[in-house]
Structure 1
Amino acid sequence: MNSTSPRSDDPMTDGDFALLRIERDAGVAFVTIDAPPINVMTPELFRELAKFSAFVADDDSVRVVVLRSDHPDFFIAHFDVRAILSFPTDGPAERPDAHVGFHAMCERYRTMSKVTIVEIGGRVGGGGSELSMSCDMRFGALGRTVVNQMEVPIGILPGGTGTQRLPRLVGRGRAMEVILGGIDLDARTAEQWGYLNRALPADELRPFVTDLAYRIARFPPQAVALAKQAVNAADELPLREGLFEERYLFAQLMRTRQAAAAMTQFLELGGQTRDGELRIAELVAEISTDG
């Protein structure tokens, strides 16, 4: 993996970020959060994550984004409570009619054409959990990953998408337990409830996430992007309209050069033969989308 080096035609360089370390390799952007001492989501960290999301959404060289931390105990602790105490409260509360601020950032990670993966090697809470839930996949470490929504005990509620994301992941009753109880959710339970895709032994977490990111980045980018768009439609549309959207996106991909080339390679490599089908996960990883 090679560290990103500034390019004259690149609007983002490492110097743009004080709290993020960004490495790009083979279509994957690895973003390591480094905000000591415990990776609290300060306004500065929020702005950097938002800035990065806006840049990478338009970067055709990146197909997969991996968010991670090297801190042994924390991915992102939660949003900065001192900063929340300074939020303006003059006048009555107003209902928004568009996504702004933290919601807009989370929606960008959810809807961008890149695959977004979160490697949660330690604690994640509050706004860090809300960002994680907005991404496409979450992986954790047994004995290390802990999920917490600590807002209700301190007099507020998860206001960065948490009350909407968590019930969709784990169900209403379990979301109520986490949000209203302010409990710690261990990695195994988080996996069983659907918050985590998988809970892995701690020493296997990073290799697994890295391999998965590289694997997805090798696949036809239009297929990855439109498949993500189709899956997102399941959250946004009734089944009937969602099926229409799926059929439309499938038809779009059928008209791409890469689809025909990849399907032809699939057959040439042994697809639709007994031996090929018995190793299909390995076989499809051998398909080249170069050129």
Structure 2
Amino acid sequence: MQRISLSFPAPGYWHATFRNPPINLIDPDMIEEMFDLVGRLESDPDVKVIVFASADPDFFLAHYDVLADKARIAAMQPGPTGYHPWIDVMIRLARAPIVSIASIRGRARGAGSEFALACDLRFASAEKAVLGQFEVGLGAVPGGNPMARLAGLAGRGRTLEIVLGADDFPGPLAERYGYVTRALQDDELEAFVDRFARRIAGFDKRALAETKSIVDDVTLPPDTVFPPVLAQFFQSTARDETRARSASLLRAGLQRRSAVEFDLGRNVAAKHDA
């Protein structure tokens, strides 16, 4: 099953839609499709802007698939950066000579939040967007190092609140913290993002790419800060305590279209059956 579908609304403007039922988990197949798509974005001379959205109004990208085949994950070959494909995708997307926009309706947590943070711009539904980094609530280190990107967007204190509190941030609060670029009324989100993308698609690509590169130079964290944190993530998820917390949440409904996933920020702090 294809997890990312592409459409081309206008010259220079690509639109990518996530579709991985039941809740848009980021699994190895999704990572491989993202990897291939970033390669296309880097090499196509005509694309100027891409919008990422979800076919599921409740989940933009839920989070990493904690039940994914660990052997397959370990065997994934490094990308052009020399790093694990998940880290590679986010580094290359952030530095690609195009403008990437996350149009967030529904939940973007964990790796889903990390992907959104790697995009250049994040526009969110004020009523329906929910972002969060819940990993510490399970006893794990957030693997994609969202801390490095959030620190530049939200500042130290708010970054610590987001990652250590492991709670949910609705669209308006995420906007106030700098977690998202702007929160819009839900019925205005798609039209606003489409107008903005079409506007950018009408500009000169070289001017867009060169200007973005200058901003990247003074705002993006060094690429080298990401791989060690992914290693810490894998180590932390192997601990008995973390496995026990994850297993408890899985029994309660994690990774299913359940009350646990809809209200994950509260549920990572709740007591579940042992």
Report the TM range for the smaller structure's normalisation.
0.7 to 0.9
Change (3 A) 1:155 1:87: farther
- 5 Å matches for 1:39-118? 39-83=24-68, 98-118=82-102
Contact between 1:103 and 1:161, CA under 8 Å: does it hold in 2?
no
**Residue among 143, 158, 177 paired with 1:159:** 143
Moved over 6 A (4+): none
**Residue among 11, 23, 30 paired with 1:26:** 11
**Residue among 157, 172, 182 paired with 1:188:** 172
How far the C-alpha of 1:98 sits from its partner, in A, is 4.7
Q: What is the alpha-carbon distance in structure 1 between the residues aligned to residue 220 and residue 93 of structure 2? A: 16
Query: CA deviation digits over 1:64-99, x for unaligned, max 9?
Result: 01111121111000011112866889xxxxxxx953
Secondary structure of 1:75's aligned partner = strand
Contact between 2:59 and 2:108, CA under 8 Å: does it hold in 1?
yes
Change (3 A) 1:208 1:174: same
Amino acid at match of 1:44: D
Q: What is the alpha-carbon distance in structure 1 between the residues aligned to residue 220 and residue 30 of structure 2? A: 29
Q: What is the alpha-carbon distance in structure 2 between the residues aligned to residue 84 and residue 44 of structure 1? A: 11
Query: CA deviation digits over 1:24-63, x for unaligned, max 9?
Result: 1321110000111110111111111111111121011211
Contact between 2:28 and 2:73, CA under 8 Å: does it hold in 1?
no
Amino acid at match of 2:177: W
Q: Normalising by structure 1, report the TM-score.
A: 0.70
Contact between 2:149 and 2:220, CA under 8 Å: does it hold in 1?
no
Q: What is the alpha-carbon distance in structure 2 between the residues aligned to residue 223 and residue 182 of structure 1? A: 39
Query: CA deviation digits over 1:151-201, x for unaligned, max 9?
Result: 111121111131211222111111111111110111111001111111001
**Residue among 197, 220, 226 paired with 2:210:** 226
Amino acid at match of 1:212: F
Change (3 A) 1:110 1:168: same
Amino acid at match of 1:142: A
Q: What is the alpha-carbon distance in structure 2 between the residues aligned to residue 147 and residue 194 of structure 1? A: 12
Query: What is aligned with 1:257?
Result: none
- 5 Å matches for 1:202-281? 202-235=186-219
Query: What is aligned with 1:10?
Result: none
Query: Could you say what the CA RMSD is over the residues aligned between the two structures, in angstroms?
Result: 1.9
Secondary structure of 2:57's aligned partner = coil
Secondary structure of 1:83's aligned partner = coil
Q: How many residues align?
A: 214
Q: What is the alpha-carbon distance in structure 2 between the residues aligned to residue 121 and residue 62 of structure 1? A: 24
Secondary structure of 1:121's aligned partner = strand
- 5 Å matches for 1:143-158? 143-158=127-142
Secondary structure of 1:82's aligned partner = coil
Q: Normalising by structure 2, report the TM-score.
A: 0.74
Secondary structure of 2:128's aligned partner = coil
How far the C-alpha of 1:21 sits from its partner, in A, is 1.1
How far the C-alpha of 1:103 sits from its partner, in A, is 1.0
Q: Which runs of 5+ in 2 are unaligned?
A: 75-80, 222-274
Query: What is aligned with 1:279?
Result: none
Structure with bigger gyration radius: 1
**Residue among 137, 142, 162 paired with 1:178:** 162
Amino acid at match of 2:50: V
| Aligned residues with identical type, % of pairs | 36
Structure possessing the higher relative contact order (Cα contacts under 8 Å, 6 or more residues apart):
2
Is the counterpart of residue 123 in structure 1 residue 107 in structure 2? yes
Secondary structure of 1:113's aligned partner = coil
